[in-house]
Amino acid sequence: MRRILLPLILCFQSVSTSAASAVFYTTAFDGSRSVSLSLAKGEPAHDPAFDFDVVITLSEIDRGGAVFYQDGGRHEASVRCISPATVRVNSAEYAVDVSARPGTDWKHDLWARLCNAPAS
């Protein structure tokens, strides 16, 4: 079921919102700069133990909203929605605290963006 929902979620996000809204996590540094993580790509996971394979991009933004730095790297991750909720980056697997408050952990926010599909 999630393999069907991913293309719909990503299509909905890209059609109904601007590119900036692909941001799923932002944290501030120094009060003058912030770093945002965005979903650049997503697809059903190749590993059957996971639900999604994604590519994450990183941007550093100054206080005025201008992009100070755009990381050219492609940071790949895999996400498991069901218990135990997990984000895998390279070979490291990180447990996701699904009860965490939004904005406290990038892994939770990535998991929530992908696994808490909007219901209508």
Q: Where are the domains of the chain?
A: 2-115
Nearest Cα neighbor of 35 from 9, 67, 3 is: 67
Q: What percent of the chain has pLDDT over 90?
A: 63
CA atoms of 16 and 112, how far apart (whole Å):
18
Given a cut of 80, is residue 5 above it in pLDDT? no
Given a cut of 50, is residue 20 above it in pLDDT? no
Work out the average pLDDT over 91-98: 96
Q: What percent of the chain has pLDDT over 70?
A: 79
Work out the average pLDDT over 82-98: 96
pLDDT in the model for residue 64: 86
Dihedral over alpha carbons 93, 71, 115, 15 (to 10 degrees): -160
Summarised one tens digit per residue, pLDDT across range 34-89 is 999 999 999 999 999 999 999 999 999 988 888 889 998 889 999 999 999 999 99
Work out the average pLDDT over 92-103: 96
Residue 68 near residue 32, CB atoms below 8 Å: no
Residue 22 near residue 42, CB atoms below 8 Å: no
